[in-house]
Amino acid sequence: MPNAITAMKGQSPIVVLTAYTTPMARIVDAHCDVTLVGDSLAMVIHGLPTTIGVTMEMMILHGKAVMRGLEKSLPVIDMPFGSYEESPAQAFRNASRLMGETGIPCVKIEGGQHMAETIAFLVARGVPVMAHIGLTPQSVNTLGGFRVVGRDAEGDKLMADAKAVADAGAFAVVLEKLPEGLAKRITDSISIPTIGIGAGINCDGQVLVIDDMLGLFTDFHPKFVKRFAQLGDEAHAAVAAYAAEVRARTFPAPEHSFPDVLPAKGPRA
């Protein structure tokens, strides 16, 4: 339940990772408090340059797949660009569709003060909302790139954004690519948990994109991503070994093949 995540503030760090498929959702679910079906699937699954091209249908497809792999973590699904910004009513229509078709009980939306009315509208109608402020990738074209946000005068606006989404009823807020001191001041000032990504050690929880931290997606490597494994390198080595064995006719070996005649069973002991 989202309330249980809110209650973790000040108690224990909240562990969040993204997932997009059933097998990966099973792994994430075994270790994390929240599993996020992030619209980062644009880049890491679909090869798109940004999250702008993600559709409701893409989120629903991956949301359903993730739900099949979860038993205990809280599922949250991103609302895609263009599905909620127009009006609170549009946001409710699409949030209820995402929830109804996937079974995921919570949505995440990007934006601070300007989305507060929408967050309050959704929460009042039974939609738990995780907010997302700071670097909001769906606004990359107006933010002017994937830069750190909140340095100097921008910090006051970010603080006001955090307070606005908390007051509107969000159950947690993602802080993306903020200076660590500002992230700490925000974390100390609001009653809901902050989930950091590139926002330093003092947030109430942390989130990473699973393909980044496993070293599966290597097109770019932001400073805030720690690679906890190098699965991309391992996959290359495995595929190269397979290709070599097929070309050398050493795979499949007898143990991978079916004989024409089954060996006779020996006498019973």
- Please list the active-site residues: 176
Nearer to ligand KIV, 149 or 207 (CB): 207
**Minimum CB distance to ligand KIV, residue 88 (Å):** 21
**Minimum CB distance to ligand KIV, residue 18 (Å):** 4
Distance, CA of 59 to CA of 56 (rounded, Å): 5
194 touching ligand KIV, by CB under 6 A? no
Stretch that binds ligand KIV, among 34-42, 150-158, 161-169, 240-248 (CB under 6 A): 34-42
Residues from 197 through 226 that contact ligand KIV (CB under 6 A): 197, 207, 209
Distance, CA of 222 to CA of 232 (rounded, Å): 16
Residue in 83, 8, 72 with CA at minimum distance from that of residue 39? 83
138 touching ligand KIV, by CB under 6 A? no
Taking CB positions, which residue lies at the least distance from ligand KIV? 38
Q: Please pick, from the candidates 29, 39, 161, 211, the single residue that binds ligand KIV as defined by CB under 6 A.
A: 39
**Minimum CB distance to ligand KIV, residue 248 (Å):** 41
174 touching ligand KIV, by CB under 6 A? yes
Interface ranges with ligand KIV (CB under 6 A)? 18, 36, 38-40, 78, 132, 174, 197, 207, 209
